[in-house]
Structure 1
Amino acid sequence: MIFVLNKNKQPLSLCHSAVARKLLKSGKAVIHKKYPFTIRLKELKTSENKAEFRLKIDYGSRHTGLAILNGSKVIGLAQIHHKTSIKSNMDSRRAMRRTRRNRTTRYRKPRFNNRKRKERWLSPSLQSRVDNIQNWVNRLQKLCPLTHISYENVKFDTQLMQNPEVSGVEYQQGELQGYEVREYLLEKWNRKCAYCGAENVPLEIEHIIPKARHGTSRVSNLTLACRTCNEAKGTMTAEEFGYSDIQKQARIPLKDAALVTATRWKVYNVLEKTGLEVECGTGARTKMNRIRLNLPKDHHFDAICIGASTPNEITFKTNQVLHIKAKGRGSHCRTNLDKYGFPRGYLARQKSFFGFQTGDIVKAIIPKGKYKGTHFGAVACRKKGSFVIKNKHGKLIAETSYKNCKMLSKADGYEYTIEPMEVDGIPLTLKL
């Protein structure tokens, strides 16, 4: 199904891809957008949209599923891949900044007047997820005459996820009630090294999943080890070190659950501002609907099953899923640093070169040379005009002059791939 706009860029009801091809071939429409594919009619059409289009959103910490339904017809599926590198990038910049301040170079006075945070402030890693959802809801409103939104507003009980038997006063006391961390670990691991079993030696607190591998300092991820085992283990997990039984005791990290719980109402407030009717669903209802409709577990399929508005039967009018990966619009830092924080190269102060900028999707027709042929991909621009064309996996496929490149889609901070929809590992084919 293809999005359709009228001459004044107002959204109309979606049409089949065959109809879109006829309109484009006859010259009655032009391509308005490549991702998601949208056409714009050349003649003014102002007919009212009587159909109801419902956008369903399955919010997750790493992926968010989107589905557009027209009654019982599924006419669009997409999945947003959120950025997960924001915190590590900020930590790296902070470490570089602190080392510069501590060197015997120009002294930079601490600044505290600009540290005040706004009310209901969210950290950048959380805010980016909210912004991604807000951005795509606003985009889809401009492409499709949406009338309703369904949103899975879930709250995770993190203590129950850790211990299914927890109840009553245990919620307040926790597993460390009456203990210090070291004393608790000594009791739990029988006052000996968890790996070699050494006793009567100095024992160190050790992370089962190392902090370098995104392990947390929760007590369920801590154990005791002698100096020899701790140094030999290094940045390996306990399972990689050969102790899978110890690895099983490291419970699943709750970072993803905490992230969704912290931002769920922020997302709801963003959806309410669209002016559309917002329906909230629960995780239990989503699971019940998914089992009833016999759909696999995936974010875009979960989105179909959100809320009481889910129909008893569904018909797929699409067999593709648009994967939207948040990439950002480049770095504000125009200096490359080495591992010590010293400059090792400088980037150009401009982002646009010869009408292109890094991330644009282009078609390169190369007449001769090593890369002779036609190539499609994302462009990496250079100041001198020699561009690099890369595929969706970031692998170089061509290198050519800007004169051989033709713009297909401008960079907008996202990377797009279209994949066939699969059910039980089998691509879904439609009989339309």
Structure 2
Amino acid sequence: MKHENANRVFLLNKDGKPLMPCRPRKARQLLKSGKAFVVKKYPFTIQLKYGSYGYKQKVSLGVDTGQRHIGFAVVSQDKVLHQSEVELRQDVHTNLYTRKIYRRGRRNRKTRYRQARFLNRVHGKRDGLWLPPSVKSKVSHNIAWIKRYLAVLPNPDLHIEVGKFDMAKMVNPDISGKQYQEGSLKDWKNYEYYVLARDEYTCQLCHKHGEGVKLVVHHIVYRSQGGTDRVDNLITLCTNCHTTKNHQPGGKLYKWMKAKKKVTKQLKGATFMNILRKRIMTTFPEASFQYGSQTYVDRKNLLLPKGHFMDTIAISGIKSVGQMPETVTMISQFRKKKRSLHEATARKGRKQPNTSSKRNEKNTKYARGLWLNDYVRVIGNNAKGYVKGFKSNGYSVYLTDGLGNYVLNDGRNYVNSKQCQLITHNSSWQKAEQMLLLYEFK
């Protein structure tokens, strides 16, 4: 198998119409000579200043949708021109829940009162299209990134992998017929009564039971941490064992949970893929769709290793891989703003009380001419990185390489801001080129 150096660069003509992607060397020559200029960073796209319509080959775009990673591959004949992987944020639900707790706490203290809002999204629920903010964000990004690639390719054939899951069968493989309508609580008055009977009215930690023992039904994994109200996430405990200390790392319940492995099987991924499938099919009716079972067979026939960007090569419909780049573009989402006005616990070492500390001192997004997520060059060692955060009132900054690794300077994970030379401002995305391991293709 023959390898090229890097991913192709997307190219637009003078009128903004897509042309065939060009090699990075050709793109550098066009930019250096002033014959082209950059129009998009994600994916990286340049536009010519002179008229050109070029020869357009048949191009296919393979997409591997997902709630955490989205894979893309652009292929033409037996060549892979471009491959990339987009990583989405997974902290939206946690941040919204934290904000809710902060606001609820303020209402119970002598602080600025913020009136609770009820039914503020009811107008969106009536049309049947309402989604929780965390799910809506991921669905929107899946659709938006597909449109980004379609906008820079000349009439591509779109191939998308979607998921369809029977979650009831994932919990009970033997389910059939009317059992789908019954559920695990059939013939029980409520879930607490069911859990108590299942555990034989015995505390599952100290095994106490009988008269004089007060029992409660407790969540194994808190709902704030991703747990559900399903009965397999509930346990019977006595009041002596039902303590916060026992649930902390090192506590009795924590050790029991690790030993018994009695934790709810998370079905969030399957639920999300069912939601995404309907919206993807509605948005891109012209696309060819397939499921993971077919992708698995196609990838094995092409002798490709497992990976989101590798799956997309098989999804694209290519029959054989004769040439592909040695790098893959890794794009990750970055949180630039922290909108909370309050912190539950003051950070260690802060001299000013938490109630009177200014917001910009808690949430520094600009200092010494640099913004969060700016792409900079370190003067001296010529390293490059993204501004992740500030230290000592902006005199020093933390830099990462786009893959989550700190850019080190003399063994330290921070750099003096005077050593940072701005390359470009960024939105809420980071990009890095990652080399593919050649042994994977042997």
Q: Compute the TM-score of the two structures, normalised by the length of structure 1.
A: 0.81
SS at match of 1:337: coil
CA distance in 2, matches of 1:269, 1:218: 32
Contact 1:356 1:381 in 2 (8 A): no
CA distance in 1, matches of 2:29, 2:121: 58
For residues 147-186 of structure 1, the aligned pairs below 5 Å read 147-179=156-188, 180-186=190-196
Higher mean Cα deviation, 350-359 or 79-88? 350-359
SS at match of 2:101: helix
Q: Which residue number in structure 2 is paired with residue 285 of structure 1?
A: 294
CA distance in 2, matches of 1:108, 1:244: 40
Contact 2:159 2:317 in 1 (8 A): no
CA distance in 2, matches of 1:408, 1:194: 59
1:36 Cα shift?
4.1
CA distance in 1, matches of 2:74, 2:130: 31
**Quick check: 1:189 aligned with 2:199?**
yes
**Quick check: 1:70 aligned with 2:76?**
yes
CA distance in 1, matches of 2:217, 2:206: 15
1:149 Cα shift?
1.4
**Quick check: 1:246 aligned with 2:254?**
no
Contact 1:381 1:388 in 2 (8 A): yes
Q: Which residue number in structure 2 is paired with residue 209 of structure 1?
A: 221
CA distance in 2, matches of 1:384, 1:251: 44
CA distance in 1, matches of 2:375, 2:39: 15
Q: Which residue number in structure 2 is paired with residue 421 of structure 1?
A: 436
**Quick check: 1:223 aligned with 2:235?**
yes
Aligned residues: 410
Contact 1:6 1:45 in 2 (8 A): yes
**Quick check: 1:130 aligned with 2:133?**
no
Change (3 A) 1:114 1:206: closer
Contact 1:389 1:399 in 2 (8 A): no
1:414 Cα shift?
0.9
For residues 35-184 of structure 1, the aligned pairs below 5 Å read 36-41=43-48, 43-49=50-56, 51-105=57-111, 109=115, 115-118=121-124, 119=127, 120-179=129-188, 180-184=190-194
Contact 1:192 1:224 in 2 (8 A): yes
Contact 2:71 2:308 in 1 (8 A): yes
SS at match of 1:260: helix
1:87 Cα shift?
1.3
For residues 352-363 of structure 1, the aligned pairs below 5 Å read 356-363=370-377
1:85 Cα shift?
0.9
Higher mean Cα deviation, 217-226 or 234-243? 234-243
SS at match of 1:135: helix
Change (3 A) 1:244 1:357: closer
CA distance in 2, matches of 1:229, 1:350: 43
Query: Which residue of 322, 330, 337 maps to 2:329?
Result: 322
Change (3 A) 1:40 1:83: same
Change (3 A) 1:73 1:117: farther
SS at match of 1:417: strand
Q: Which residue number in structure 1 is paired with residue 416 of structure 2?
A: 399
**Quick check: 1:364 aligned with 2:378?**
yes
Q: Which residue number in structure 2 is paired with residue 295 of structure 1?
A: 304
Contact 1:7 1:44 in 2 (8 A): yes
Contact 1:360 1:411 in 2 (8 A): yes
1:59 Cα shift?
1.5
**Quick check: 1:376 aligned with 2:384?**
yes
Kindly indicate which of the two structures has a greater share of residues assigned to strand: 1
Contact 1:2 1:37 in 2 (8 A): no
1:90 Cα shift?
1.1
Q: Which residue number in structure 2 is paired with residue 368 of structure 1?
A: none
1:65 Cα shift?
1.6
Change (3 A) 1:427 1:5: farther
SS at match of 1:305: helix
CA distance in 1, matches of 2:323, 2:134: 34
1:31 Cα shift?
5.8
- Letter aligned with residue 13 of structure 1: M
Q: Deviations over 1:108-141 (max 9, x none)?
A: 5555695443332222211211222233223323
For residues 320-359 of structure 1, the aligned pairs below 5 Å read 320-332=327-339, 335=341, 337-339=343-345, 342=355, 344-347=357-360, 356-359=370-373
Contact 2:218 2:237 in 1 (8 A): yes
CA distance in 1, matches of 2:383, 2:54: 40
CA distance in 1, matches of 2:187, 2:314: 45
CA distance in 2, matches of 1:176, 1:223: 15
Query: Which residue of 12, 15, 20 maps to 1:5?
Result: 12
The percentage of aligned residue pairs carrying the same residue is 28
Contact 1:33 1:409 in 2 (8 A): no
- Letter aligned with residue 69 of structure 2: H
1:82 Cα shift?
1.5
1:375 Cα shift?
3.4
Q: Which residue number in structure 2 is paired with residue 369 of structure 1?
A: none
CA distance in 1, matches of 2:394, 2:196: 64
Change (3 A) 1:138 1:409: farther
Change (3 A) 1:178 1:106: same
**Quick check: 1:233 aligned with 2:246?**
yes
**Quick check: 1:310 aligned with 2:327?**
no
CA distance in 2, matches of 1:164, 1:29: 58
Alpha-carbon RMSD across the aligned residues, in angstroms, is 3.5
Q: Compute the TM-score of the two structures, normalised by the length of structure 2.
A: 0.79
Q: Deviations over 1:325-375 (max 9, x none)?
A: 122442455x4534398453222999777875321111232xxxxxx5433
- Letter aligned with residue 426 of structure 2: A
Higher mean Cα deviation, 91-100 or 154-163? 91-100
SS at match of 2:423: strand
CA distance in 2, matches of 1:400, 1:245: 48
Q: Deviations over 1:66-108 (max 9, x none)?
A: 2222233322222221111111111121222222233345555
Gaps of 5+ in 1: 366-371
SS at match of 1:314: coil
